Amino acid sequence: MKEWRISEGVYIHRCAKIHPSVKIAPATVIGAPPLMLEIVDGHRTRKTISGGIDLHRGVDIGSNCSVVQGVHSDTTLEEYVFVAHGSTIGHDCKIGKNTVVCAGVHLMGEVIVDPWCYIGPGTVIQPHTHILEGTMIGGFSQCVREHYDVPPWSIAWGNPCKFIRENKWRPTK
């Protein structure tokens, strides 16, 4: 049974695959075109896009969010990912199941977030950064790939984001 809850004022691009039980709040864009530019014959143009969007079962996206279409592969939100209001998920990002992305978070292109992570409000994660399973990132952190070295099941915070201590919480089975 497909029970989507998609509010008024949501834009969904034709490249999007939306599985059952997905919720999308007002003024959200699913499939925003990525701003990937190249120079062709001396003129700046947008690159050819071959990816899409894949929203798995139980994904819940708040209002005023943007999920950017993949450039090389699909931008994917796995089962039961929660994205709070005003967040941006960049092109080719992969967000693992049961992850929480708080309000005002910005994931740049090609970020990988493993399952069971928590990304605190106002955090910015730079391109090509990999957040390992069970990591909790404190609010307003700046995750930069060159400076990010946090093991799985950790609590991290700061600018640049650094390991604080082990995350002892584990999901119940």
Domain that residue 21 falls in: 5-33+49-166
The CB density around residue 64, as the number of other CB atoms within 10 Å, is 16
Name the DSSP letter for residue 57: T
Look up the pTM and report it. Answer: 0.94
> According to the model, what pLDDT value does residue 147 have?
77
Contacts of 148 (CB under 8 A, 6+ apart): 129, 160, 161
Q: How many domains does the chain have?
A: 1
Does residue 80 form part of some domain? Answer: yes
Separation CA 139–CA 148 (nearest Å):
16
Q: Look up the CATH number of the domain holding residue 107.
A: 2.160.10.10
Give tens-digit pLDDT for 75-108. Answer: 999 999 999 999 999 999 999 999 999 999 999 9
Does residue 40 form part of some domain? Answer: no
Please tell me the least confidently modeled range out of 36-40, 116-120, 124-128, 159-163: 36-40
